[in-house]
Amino acid sequence: MSSRFRVPGSGFKVLSLKNWHKAGFLLFFTWNLELGTRNVLGSVSTVRLETIGMYHVPPDAYAMVKSLGIESVQVPLHAISSKEEAEALLAETGKNGLQVFFGIYEKNFDSRQILRSVELYKSRSEITYWYLADEPDIHQIEPDTIRQITQFIRISDPKKRPTFITISDLNFGPKDGDKVNIRGKAYSAYKDVADISGILKYDSPKKLRIYLDSFVYPEMAGKRWWAIVSLNQQPEDLKKSVDLFMEGQPAGLLYYAFADDSWGFNLRERTDIQEALREINAKLRPGKVLQQSESSATLKSSATAVQTGNSPVPGAAGMPPWIRTPVMDLSKPSTLGMPPAAILNLSTTTAISTETAPSNMPSSP
């Protein structure tokens, strides 16, 4: 019996299962041929993004990353010791014309703490996105919990700024016969709990294509999602990875990360990655990225001085409808059983530890 199917995203359209032993090599060859000869960055210029951001950027590098085309940076509360320090960092992003995805979660996830943080910082104009949770699928944070927090923020934040989570799809859902989690289940569970879902997958372009075609694109089609791409790879692989993600028409792009000690990576030391970023982001924002001659001086002085400026903030005009902030359904009663103000005033908390992540997980945002 012959069964035929199409290989997603490859030039090899049809395979016969009864001749699989002969087709295996051809399949491998075709995928390698396509990735090696495709028009790298060919999909980039067709995508309209609401932001291009980066994780773990120190304040003295704000001017540097802006010169590479970065428009937003992460400011994480869990790495900040005081409100004064947080406000100082936010002020620096504002001086540099950078947007902020503001991480309001702690190491121990606590919904009440998150809502208190929204109340504490909602007057700060520098904040563009509320970063609610990092990989809730790994840390066993229930989807309904994130959904309820998003609903309360829609009520309490006058600016209705979007909520954001990341999804890793590493440790969620049923397991197969080898006790390995079945891939893709996390996307269907978490894709609607926040306004924006960040999809992170740190893999080689060859493996990334198969994964995106098989799991990410089918689940996230028509959704507001951001691609999260690792900087810890060779420049050509970085370009291929971005290009592959752009085929799925994401609403945003984040790079992980400016520096990561576990990877031994620091963007200051990787001029080849800096040039790749400049090339990629120039295609995403034609005419907006500084040219090499202009940015060299900025790169040299970024460690000692912070320069000011106005980064481009793309408007809503011409954006696909799914990029705009959806209106949350607030008519349904919350299982928390109380209005936001009541939650903010409670002194007791129920914390969910994030220390139970599997030891084989990659370094996360």
The neighbouring-strand residues paired with 133 are: 165
What pLDDT is stored for residue 46 in this prediction?
A: 67
* 334-335-336 Cα angle (round to 5): 85
Q: How far is the CA of 226 from the CAs of 223, 303, 334, 355, in angstroms?
A: 10, 29, 27, 25
The pLDDT assigned to 297 comes to 47
Between CA 231 and CA 4 the distance in angstroms is 38
For 211, the token pair is 């994964």
Supply the pLDDT for residue 23: 41
Rounded CA separation 39/182 (Å): 33
Determine contact, residues 231/65, Cβ cutoff 8 Å.
Answer: no
- What does the pLDDT read at residue 169? 85
The pair of three-digit structure tokens given for residue 83, joined into one six-digit string: 């409100």
CB atoms within 10 A of CB 355: 7
The answer to whether the CB of 226 falls within 8 A of the CB of 255 is no
Residue-level pLDDT at 332:
41
Torsion of CA 122, 123, 124, 125, to 10 degrees: 110
Pick one of 1.10.150.120, 3.40.640.10, 2.60.40.1230, 3.20.20.80 as the CATH number of 48-311+323-328+339-344: 3.20.20.80
- The answer to whether the pTM exceeds 0.75 is no
Domain ranges in the chain are 4-37, 48-311+323-328+339-344
Residues of the chain with confidence (pLDDT) below 50: 1-37, 291, 293-363
- Among 227, 265, 259, 256, which residue's Cα sits nearest to residue 243? 227
In sign, the C-alpha dihedral spanning 299, 303, 308, 309 is: positive
Q: Could you tell me which residues are beta bridge partners of residue 266?
A: 259
